[in-house]
Structure 1
Amino acid sequence: MLKSFKEFISRGNAIDLAVGMVIGAAFTAVVTALVKQVINPLIGGLFGEQNFDDVFQFTVGTATVQPGAVITALVNFLLVAFALYFFIVLPMNALAARRKKEEAAETPEVSEDVQLLSEIRDLLKAQNNN
């Protein structure tokens, strides 16, 4: 049983997953700080409130119901998605496209004539070997 556990841990998948989780947790702090300390204050400056928790607030007996908290959560989700897309996904896609162009430029395309001559050469070699 310990041997199979050691094999499981030694495989790259478990280690990659652990590294991904740690990086994800650290990155979450960055995105959360961006949303809470930069974007939400800008919204607060424009609308007077940083969140919508008190919107549509009402009381039932001694309980306070805040449907606006759901709106705040949805807005925060959209802001996080916005931040991820524009600050991470778009630059990474642009970087990948640039690398792909550089790789394509490094490997020249073979013309049809050269490809045909290469095929003829390979066929002649195969016939000579037989």
Structure 2
Amino acid sequence: MLKGFKDFLMRGNVVDLAVAVVIGTAFTAIVTAFTTSLIKPLIASLGSAETKGLGIQLREGKDDTYLDFSNVINAAINFIIVAAVVYFVLVLPIKKIQERRKRGEEPGPAEPTNVELLIEIRDLLAAQQNNHQQQPTVVQDRRGPAI
């Protein structure tokens, strides 16, 4: 059972899908909290004392016109951290395993042998034959069905 699960995981599409899901959900909350709580205040401290942080107020008195560069830098750092974690935790180990398989150090997904396929066909035919033999023959006349 574990070997089949491992073979399932080693397929290329499954790994790509897992990477996308992990990038989108699992690490986002942790990294966002880290960058919002620690990195953004450090970046904002680079601004002058009169401003809200690292940014420019386009119109005085209108908070909507503040260009907050620290949010953009924060988002870029957030993405880089998430991408690095996913690459080093998921992608790199999977690539190493796939390289080992190519070199023959680790066996790939198990293919069924001809004998296993023939045994499966035989068992399916036997089960089908048993189903046909167990069903009763129905004879009909004018009065209705009878057995």
TM-score by length of 1: 0.44
| Structure whose CA Rg is larger | 2
